[in-house]
Amino acid sequence: MTTYPARIPIRASRTRLHGAFTALVTPFTADGAVDEAAFGRLLDAQLAGGIAGLVPCGTTGESPTLSADERDRLIELSVAAARSAEDPRPTVLAGTGTNDTAASIAATRRAAELGADAALVVAPYYNRPNQAMLAAHYTAVADEGGLPVVVYNVPSRTATNVEAATLLELAAHPMIVGVKEASGNLDQIALICRDRPDGFAVLAGDDAWTLPMLALGGDGVVSVASNEVPAEMVALCAAALAGHIDAAREIHERLLPLFRANFAGAPSPAPVKAALSAMGLIENQLRLPLLPLGTAGVEGMADTLRAAGALAPRSLAASRA
């Protein structure tokens, strides 16, 4: 195992890798442009909900279809929103990972220039690196990117699993500060939570896994549902981290249908965008190859939001229509 110097604080006053982080969607207008006004409304809702972190340009933000200029702008807007918030300010964890190590380094450096606090770096997809290659990739980004790195492990999207032994080796690097764990492998997650070094954050990568991972000693979640219900995800994490498991479980059980609906019927972020359009925050627009849910899908997501208490009940007139 490689030996690294003692973990060093990087922007320690700003980097808060615990609690609920929102994997922000990227709103688009009907003509396909980034909708900055809608993104601003979404950011305002996140700040009002007390969210701990903003995650622009991740896969929930349709990062593969964003131009470099669009990614820069979304990071800029997220940083500006975070800086406008009262302390404690939310952490900006910018998605910078690709399946090209050099491109990931360049994107991470650019995010640092724009004021991001840390970088979320997905495991390389399509080229399917083995464990030694994954270690080399993340070490290079950590060595040269200029930001603390959070490993994003999501085998269902990448076809590559960052195994526990590999992640724990990487966790010794002073610039690799956490993992967004979406493997769905409880044994792997438990090993990571047990054996990680002090200060290394373990964040759930699936909303439905938030409570189980916090019970294992995890630190929070990078959430899709917090686009819709930021205050509720903040409350779930706060209750669990404080040891109030019954209160956390009540929130978890009430929101579980929403967690499931956000990944049902179409690839994410189509369902969450349908929900946010029902809430009046964004237009129901995605970029090809993804397509938006139709009217029935939007109405179904609205019903799920109502059941979770996140949308006003239908009026009597509407229910009769």
- Using CA atoms, how far apart are residues 301 and 224, in angstroms rounded to an integer? 14
State residue 312's pLDDT score. Answer: 86
Average pLDDT, the chain: 93
The DSSP-derived string for 232-279 is: HHHHHHHHHHTT-HHHHHHHHHHHHHHHHHTTSSSSTTHHHHHHHHHT
Residue ranges and CATH numbers for the domains of the chain are 19-265 (3.20.20.70)
pLDDT interval class at 176 (50, 70, 90): very high
Q: What is the DSSP letter of 227?
A: G
pTM greater than 0.85 (yes/no): yes
Give the SS3 label for residue 312.
coil
In tens, the pLDDT along 61-101 reads 999 999 999 999 999 999 999 999 988 899 999 999 999 99
> Distances in Å between the alpha carbon of 58 and those of 23, 75, 115, 159?
6, 11, 17, 17
* 14-18, 32-36, 107-111: range with lowest mean pLDDT: 14-18
Q: Does position 253 have pLDDT exceeding 50, yes or no?
A: yes
Active site residue 138: no
Task: Give the Cβ contact number of residue 132 at 10 Å.
Answer: 9
Provide the percentage of residues in the chain whose pLDDT is more than 70: 93
State residue 16's pLDDT score. Answer: 57
State residue 58's pLDDT score. Answer: 96
* 9-18, 40-49, 271-280: range with lowest mean pLDDT: 9-18
Please compute the mean of the pLDDT values over residues 129-144 and round it to a whole number. 98
Please compute the mean of the pLDDT values over residues 141-162 and round it to a whole number. 97
Task: Give the Cβ contact number of residue 195 at 10 Å.
Answer: 13
State residue 110's pLDDT score. Answer: 98
State residue 6's pLDDT score. Answer: 39
- What phi and psi values does residue 150 have, to the nearest 5 degrees? -110, 120
In tens, the pLDDT along 23-59 reads 999 999 999 999 999 999 999 999 999 999 999 999 9
pLDDT interval class at 316 (50, 70, 90): very low
Q: What angle do CA 271, 309, 321 make, to 5 degrees?
A: 75
Active-site residue among 125, 138, 152, 273? 152
State residue 24's pLDDT score. Answer: 98
State residue 317's pLDDT score. Answer: 37
